[in-house]
Amino acid sequence: MKILDLHCHTDASDGELSPATLWQRAIERQIDVIAITDHDTTAGVRSLMARAAEDVVSGPELVPGVEISATDSGHVVHVVGLWLDPHSDALESFLGRQQSARDERAIAISKKLESKGLPETYTAVRELAAGSPLGRPHFARHLTELGITPNVGAAFKRWLGKGKPGDIDIAWPSLAAAIQHIQAAGGLAVLAHPSKYFSGFSKCYELCQRFKELGGDAMEVVNGAQTVKVTRDLAKIAERVGLAASTGSDFHSPAQTWCDLGSQPGLPEALTPVWQLR
């Protein structure tokens, strides 16, 4: 059986490994197909593609991807794009606007945290991110390095997570716009981790249904280490609303051993796998 991982992050966004190191790990873990889906950037994919042209002969098939932050009825929703053209000018300028919004939010986060007695963090976070679009995980890492929080999880819990001071809204584009930008770049639009937005089944169902109505192609039926029940519910939804199914680890760091590259459970049978839509 082929091992596919269609959702993972490098240090081109909030992942810890460089694209080249992640690629090595994918080879070691005998992954057949891997999509790099960094938050609001394709820089990691592009750097690997340039390298692949030079010296990567064997190894996994690289799927150019992205994970776009969008909004739907006031909720932040992530849309993964797969098999898109990472050199598309239209996509690049759209992602450029996402990155500027992230930078503005980072300034606001730093100011908000300062108002709560923390030191100025924007300058150091920018340095830490080294040109990558700024995300809350960069703040979490920095606060941990400063010893203000014991770890990244605690930083989210106290300062950056939902409803905490550093949880500052961005006017992300609509779900429809995210789908359109992915498809205009030749990609397939996949609703990321649908179980993570709401606690109940029916709201999740409605979101997936809306995603389908807006022209979305697929939904992640498997994302990282999730329970068998969640997989079963999502499979049911995919079948009912008529979305193809995708699978990915949502890998960010080797320290998160529960969602290592390609370690997620398999896709239930009877669903249309997203790669059949290519």
Strands 61-72 and 244-248: unpaired
Does 161 interact with ligand AMP (rule: CB under 6 A)? yes
Instruction: Output the CA–CA distances (angstroms, integers) from residue 152 to 131, 145, 149, 160, in the order listed.
Output: 21, 10, 7, 10
Give the nearer residue to ligand AMP in terms of CB position, either 164 or 210: 164
CB of 154 to ligand AMP, least distance (A): 9
268 and 235 Cβ atoms separated by less than 8 Å: yes
Stretch that binds ligand AMP, among 92-100, 130-138, 200-208, 270-278 (CB under 6 A): 130-138
Of 227, 215, 170, 225, residue with least CA distance to 190: 215
Site string for Fe ion, 189-208 (x = CB under 5 A): ---x----------------
221: amino acid identity, one letter = V
Residues contacting Zn ion: total by CB under 5 A: 2
238 binds, among Zn ion, Fe ion, ligand AMP, none (CB under 5 to 8 A by kind): none
Give the nearer residue to ligand AMP in terms of CB position, either 204 or 271: 204
Tokens of 234: 């999502």
CB of 199 to ligand AMP, least distance (A): 16
Of 202, 203, 241, residue with least CA distance to 221: 241
Looking at the DSSP assignment, which residues form a beta bridge with residue 63?
35
Does 152 interact with ligand AMP (rule: CB under 6 A)? yes
Q: Which of 60, 81, 135, 187 is in the footprint of ligand AMP by CB under 6 A? A: 135
Q: Which residues of 205-225 are buried (b: 16+ CB within 10 A; e: fewer)?
A: bebbebbbebebbbbbbbbbe
Stretch that binds ligand AMP, among 24-32, 82-90, 134-142, 260-268 (CB under 6 A): 134-142
In the window 69-88, what residues touch Fe ion (CB under 5 A)? 78
Give the nearer residue to ligand AMP in terms of CB position, either 192 or 238: 192
Does 250 interact with Zn ion (rule: CB under 5 A)? yes
196 and 185 Cβ atoms separated by less than 8 Å: no
In the window 4-63, what residues touch Fe ion (CB under 5 A)? 14
Q: In a 3-state reduction of DSSP, which class is residue 189?
A: strand
Q: In a 3-state reduction of DSSP, which class is residue 273?
A: strand
Give the nearer residue to Fe ion in terms of CB position, either 11 or 14: 14
Give the nearer residue to ligand AMP in terms of CB position, either 152 or 241: 152
Stretch that binds Zn ion, among 61-69, 126-134, 137-145, 256-264 (CB under 5 A): 61-69
Residue spans of alpha helices (H) in the chain: 19-28, 43-55, 89-115, 122-129, 136-145, 152-155, 175-184, 201-213, 228-241
> In the complex, which residues of this chain contact ligand AMP (CB under 6 A)?
14, 39, 69, 135-137, 152-153, 156, 161, 252
